[in-house]
Structure 1
Amino acid sequence: MKGLTLRNLHKTYFDLNMGSRVTAVQDVSLHIREGEFVAVVGPSGCGKSTILNMVAGFLPATKGEVLVGDRPVKGPGPDRGVVFQNFALFPWKTVIDNVGFGLKMRGIPKPERDRIAREFLALAGLTNAADRYPNELSGGMQQRVGVVRALANEPDVLLMDEPFASVDAQTRMTLQEELTRIWQERRHTVLFITHDVGEAVFLADRVIVLSKGQVLREIDIPISRPRAWDTVSEQDDFKRLSSEVLQMVRSA
């Protein structure tokens, strides 16, 4: 695993409707330590997903740079695993073949990639789903497959763009708990984008609040791990920090 560094990151684009250039991200500098879980929150349109897409290599920065370890990001790469909101599974592939797809693209023989895929499916409690197809799974199970597919490639950095936004509240809480458990076992460096303040505080070591494409504030989350909703939600620190982050987001 490696750390992630954003240096003076800018992103502007030309808005055809407005007929002018728009600044989506302005002079964002941020360092995520190796093995750290950082969540980014902020109002709609503040630049959260734009930052993640630049880190993933899907969008070029207008100015500034992104580094994984000490290596500049020039485009998409296996050192960054991405988990999307909409699952993004191949419907014609079984679960085990979905999880092993990135390994296949790297030229890993099928017996080895199946072994690796089964190891990660077991990590997420999905062993019995290996030979099923995505349309045979619930939304929550599909998103767990999406998470382990990203993890199976052993990326240095895991990028998650509101991955639990499309599931119901109870499933979301379960997925959040599973993610913290898996993260504690594997200790990937994580950049997690969300609009849900409670989710950010529950999951992260540190929460970044964005406003108008800039970092408004960084808030450390000193809540002990492991974390479970039935205990964390009653803690004074959780309530205080959630209120503090929410106030910052509303002011943004």
Structure 2
Amino acid sequence: MKSLVLKNLQKTYFDPYAGSQVTAIRDVSLTVQPGEFVSIVGPSGCGKTTILNMVAGFLPASGGEILVDGQPVHGPGPDRGVVFQSFALFPWKTVLENVAFGPKMRGVGRAEREAIAREFLELAGLSHAADRYPNELSGGMQQRVGVVRALANHPDVLLMDEPFASVDAQTRMTLQEELTRIWQERRTTVIFITHDVAEAVFLANRVVVLSKGHVLTEIEVPLPHPRRWDALMEDEQFKGLSALVLQKVRSA
């Protein structure tokens, strides 16, 4: 578990249609504590995915600094795992081989990496699917494979970009509950991007609301764990926090 710190982060780019520089992110500062789960919400175009891509090392920052456990980020690295909205699994590899891929790239021997993969598949309730291929799985199962594939590489920070947006509502709720359970066991530091206010509150210890490339507000979520939808659906504190976050998003 390691901390993630954004210091005065900025991102500008040239818009050929406008013929000028555009500021996508301006002066964002944020500290995510070791083992903390932070959701980032905001209207479309506010910079959520841009921030995640800079933390992942896919985009260079135009200004400011990104630190993982005090070390500056200059590009992609195994200390940061990423789970995308698309399942992004290797279709020619089995589920076991997909999950073992990260450890394999780190030079872990075959027996050890397969043991690691089986451990994480068991954690996600997917042991029975180890020898199947992605196209033989439901969308929800594929996304669970994507989550544990990222975790199997033991990242210090897990970055999740709307990972449940492409599945149906019932599957999404199940995946949210599974994610909170896995997070409770592993306590990986997580940044979770979503448009869904209820999802943000259900998952996180803290919700960060973005507006036009800067942090509008941060809202603590003191709801106890474990979290289950059947318990929280009518919970007054949950409903109040969701309403507060929605109000802030709409004001953004």
TM-score range, shorter chain: over 0.9
Q: Which residue of 2 aligns with 1:204?
A: 204
Give the aligned residue type for 2:58. F
Give, in whole Å, the separation in 1 of the partners of 2:118 and 2:13.
Answer: 43
Give the aligned residue type for 1:205. N
Give, in whole Å, the separation in 2 of the partners of 1:30 and 1:170.
Answer: 32
Runs of 4 or more, structure 1, over 3 Å off, are: none
Task: Say whether residues 1:6 and 2:6 are aligned partners.
Answer: yes
Aligned-pair distance for 1:20? Answer: 1.2
Q: Report the 3-state secondary structure (helix = DSSP H, G, I; strand = E; otherwise coil) of the residue aligned with 2:226.
A: coil
Task: Say whether residues 1:184 and 2:184 are aligned partners.
Answer: yes
Q: Report the 3-state secondary structure (helix = DSSP H, G, I; strand = E; otherwise coil) of the residue aligned with 2:242.
A: helix
Aligned-pair distance for 1:241? Answer: 0.5
Unaligned ranges ≥5, structure 1: none
Spell out, residue by residue over 1:85-138, the C-alpha distance to the aligned partner (whole angstroms, 9 max, x if none). 001000000001100111111111111100000000000000010000000000
Give, in whole Å, the separation in 1 of the partners of 2:108 and 2:17.
Answer: 47
Q: Report the 3-state secondary structure (helix = DSSP H, G, I; strand = E; otherwise coil) of the residue aligned with 2:66.
A: strand
Give the aligned residue type for 2:62. T
Q: Report the 3-state secondary structure (helix = DSSP H, G, I; strand = E; otherwise coil) of the residue aligned with 1:45.
A: coil
More displaced, 29-38 or 10-19?
10-19
- Aligned pairs for 1:42-53 (under 5 A) are 42-53=42-53
Give the aligned residue type for 1:142. Q
Give, in whole Å, the separation in 2 of the partners of 1:24 and 1:127.
Answer: 42
Q: How many residues in Structure 1 have an aligned counterpart in Structure 2?
A: 252
Give, in whole Å, the separation in 1 of the partners of 2:224 and 2:109.
Answer: 41
Give, in whole Å, the separation in 2 of the partners of 1:96 and 1:155.
Answer: 18
- Aligned pairs for 1:1-252 (under 5 A) are 1-252=1-252
Give the aligned residue type for 1:189. T
Give, in whole Å, the separation in 2 of the partners of 1:94 and 1:16.
Answer: 43
Give the aligned residue type for 1:200. A
Give, in whole Å, the separation in 1 of the partners of 2:225 and 2:233.
Answer: 13
Q: Report the 3-state secondary structure (helix = DSSP H, G, I; strand = E; otherwise coil) of the residue aligned with 1:21.
A: strand
Give the aligned residue type for 2:200. A
Give, in whole Å, the separation in 1 of the partners of 2:122 and 2:232.
Answer: 26
Give the aligned residue type for 1:203. L
Q: Report the 3-state secondary structure (helix = DSSP H, G, I; strand = E; otherwise coil) of the residue aligned with 2:231.
A: helix
Give, in whole Å, the separation in 1 of the partners of 2:25 and 2:51.
Answer: 7
TM-score (norm 2): 0.99
Q: Report the 3-state secondary structure (helix = DSSP H, G, I; strand = E; otherwise coil) of the residue aligned with 2:222.
A: coil
TM-score (norm 1): 0.99
Spell out, residue by residue over 1:19-73, the C-alpha distance to the aligned partner (whole angstroms, 9 max, x if none). 1111110000000000000000000000000000000000000000100011000
Give the aligned residue type for 1:22. V
How large is the RMSD of aligned CA atoms in angstroms? 0.5
Q: Report the 3-state secondary structure (helix = DSSP H, G, I; strand = E; otherwise coil) of the residue aligned with 2:8.
A: strand
Spell out, residue by residue over 1:201-250, the C-alpha distance to the aligned partner (whole angstroms, 9 max, x if none). 00000000000000000000011111000001111111001000001001
Unaligned ranges ≥5, structure 2: none
Q: Report the 3-state secondary structure (helix = DSSP H, G, I; strand = E; otherwise coil) of the residue aligned with 2:87.
A: coil
Give, in whole Å, the separation in 2 of the partners of 1:63 and 1:167.
Answer: 36
Identity of matched residues, %: 75
Give the aligned residue type for 2:50. T
